Amino acid sequence: MNITEKKIKILFLIPDLGGGGAEKVLVNLANNLDKNIYDPTIQTISDKGVNREFLNKDVHYKYCLSKIPRGWSHFFKLFSPSFLHRIFIKEDYDIEVAFLEGPSARIIAGSDNPNVKRIAWIHCTMAGEADAKKAFRSLKEAKELYSLFDKIICVSEGVKEHFDKIFNINKTEVIYNLNDSEKVREISKSDVDISYNKDEFNIISVGSMNPRRAYIRLASVQKRLIETGYKTHIYVLGEGSEKTKIQKYIKENNLERVWTLLGYKKNPYAYVAKADLYVCPSFSEGLSTAVTEALYVGCATLSTRVSGTKELLGERGEYGLVVDNNEQAIYEGITKLIDNKELLNHYKEMAKVRGYFFGKERILEIYNQFFRQML
């Protein structure tokens, strides 16, 4: 195909445009693709999500269902991928992308168009067979369907390593997430609706409140910090299934004064930029969008050792403090930075340096080259 004759039509399929990192990355990608070359469409399985409002007008938007019932992913397994594709994907595209694992991949794998290029995007670390087959009828089906894709993109080396170990498909490569670094830096200068107490060490974290993000563990760390005399305050931005559980833990352990749930914010960057430390306490990640954004705004960062940490914070933690994935290590890491202001300030400066490595222009050019090479 000669790209000067017509635009490349790309379909991105994703369950919804909720407040997660992958959804934000997809909106940034579709918004920033060169519209002289590409004609992008985002299609969601469910018509919902706070990130939809950030889509530019030159990005087409579609959805499969206005509302979906509880347990819909299990319901989808009753139908073949080819049937689901015929029902939901009505147009012909040059490239079809399943931008999240699971149902999106199952649908895109069902395409019977011999001319389409199919791409699967893997954002999460698959810890084992249970993770790998979650949205499929079986691990065998998952392997068969992923083998139909022309290319499988993993967002970090750790994600690729785990995927390859389970599937052993020689089609994977790593491309880092695209984030709008310029916009993040600019709007991070905005005012916020809270005032950080200068007499406290203000810690912030951004993410969906689900078990994988480990906010209950972070609350337990905060309890210990207070008990050992550290004047800390933790702020969390996000919503999720564990919110009620977290609120209950905070109340039962008398942490209301030193733990604030800020909910979803359109501009979390302004809160991060003004905090003393960003903490990622997750059990697992793919390539943390929130950590990337913390680097953009120059916030010193501490993360558990998860997929993507090496790329974001350096092989030896040159750009942020990397700790073992347990509660004791998180506690020791935070106290180390509170006690060592010189080290804290060093990580603030190194965050800015690393942020430019993951800047929009460099990563966007990688995406543009990749899609052109697919045809």
Q: What is the pLDDT of residues 253-284, one digit of tens each?
A: 999 999 999 999 999 999 999 999 999 999 99
Q: pLDDT category, 375, cuts 50, 70, 90?
A: confident
pLDDT by residue (tens digit) across 47-57? 988 999 999 99
Q: pLDDT category, 220, cuts 50, 70, 90?
A: very high
Secondary structure (3-state) at 354: helix
E strand or H helix at 304: strand 301-304
Which distant-in-sequence residues (6+ apart) come within 8 Å of 143 by Cβ?
167, 169
Given a cut of 60, whether residue 170 has pLDDT beyond it is yes
Secondary structure (3-state) at 259: strand
Given a cut of 60, whether residue 353 has pLDDT beyond it is yes
Residue 68's pLDDT is what? 77
Let me know whether 135 and 195 are in one domain: no
Let me know whether 369 and 258 are in one domain: no
Let me know whether 157 and 289 are in one domain: no
When pLDDT is averaged across residues 134-152 and rounded to a whole number, the result is: 95
Let me know whether 134 and 228 are in one domain: no
Residue 3's pLDDT is what? 45
Q: pLDDT category, 1, cuts 50, 70, 90?
A: very low
Given a cut of 50, whether residue 128 has pLDDT beyond it is yes
Secondary structure (3-state) at 42: strand
When pLDDT is averaged across residues 162-190 and rounded to a whole number, the result is: 95
When pLDDT is averaged across residues 213-237 and rounded to a whole number, the result is: 98
Q: pLDDT category, 120, cuts 50, 70, 90?
A: very high
Let me know whether 153 and 227 are in one domain: no
Given a cut of 70, whether residue 224 has pLDDT beyond it is yes
Residue 5's pLDDT is what? 66
Secondary structure (3-state) at 138: coil
Per the prediction, the chain carries an average pLDDT of: 94
pLDDT by residue (tens digit) across 244-261? 999 999 999 999 999 999
Let me know whether 152 and 187 are in one domain: no
Let me know whether 146 and 273 are in one domain: no
In what side-by-side order are the strands of the sheet with 38-46?
Answer: 60-65, 38-46, 8-14, 95-98, 117-122, 151-154, 172-174
Distance CA 83, CA 106 (A): 11
Report if residue 219 sits inside a domain: yes
E strand or H helix at 370: helix 360-373
Report if residue 13 sits inside a domain: yes
Report if residue 3 sits inside a domain: no
How big is the chain, counted in residues? 375
Let me know whether 163 and 186 are in one domain: no
- The long-range contacts involving 136-144, CB below 8 angstroms and separated by at least 24 positions, are 136/77, 136/102, 136/106, 137/77, 139/166, 142/167, 143/167, 143/169
Report if residue 1 sits inside a domain: no
Let me know whether 205 and 174 are in one domain: no
Which distant-in-sequence residues (6+ apart) come within 8 Å of 198 by Cβ?
none
Distance CA 292, CA 59 (A): 24
Report if residue 256 sits inside a domain: yes
Give the domain range for residue 159: 8-178+360-373
- Best-predicted range by mean pLDDT among 15-19, 117-121, 125-129? 117-121
E strand or H helix at 280: strand 277-280
For residue 41, the tally of other CB atoms under 10 A from its CB is: 17
The domain spanning residue 61 has which CATH number?
3.40.50.2000
Let me know whether 203 and 289 are in one domain: yes
pLDDT by residue (tens digit) across 60-94? 999 999 887 777 778 889 999 999 999 999 999 99
Tell me the whole-structure pTM to 2 decimals. Answer: 0.86
Let me know whether 280 and 333 are in one domain: yes
Report if residue 2 sits inside a domain: no
DSSP-derived letter for residue 92 is -
Q: pLDDT category, 225, cuts 50, 70, 90?
A: very high
DSSP-derived letter for residue 212 is G
Report if residue 318 sits inside a domain: yes
Let me know whether 225 and 287 are in one domain: yes
Report if residue 335 sits inside a domain: yes
What type of residue is 160?
K
How many domains is the chain partitioned into structurally? Answer: 2
Q: pLDDT category, 298, cuts 50, 70, 90?
A: very high
Given a cut of 60, whether residue 2 has pLDDT beyond it is no
When pLDDT is averaged across residues 123-148 and rounded to a whole number, the result is: 91
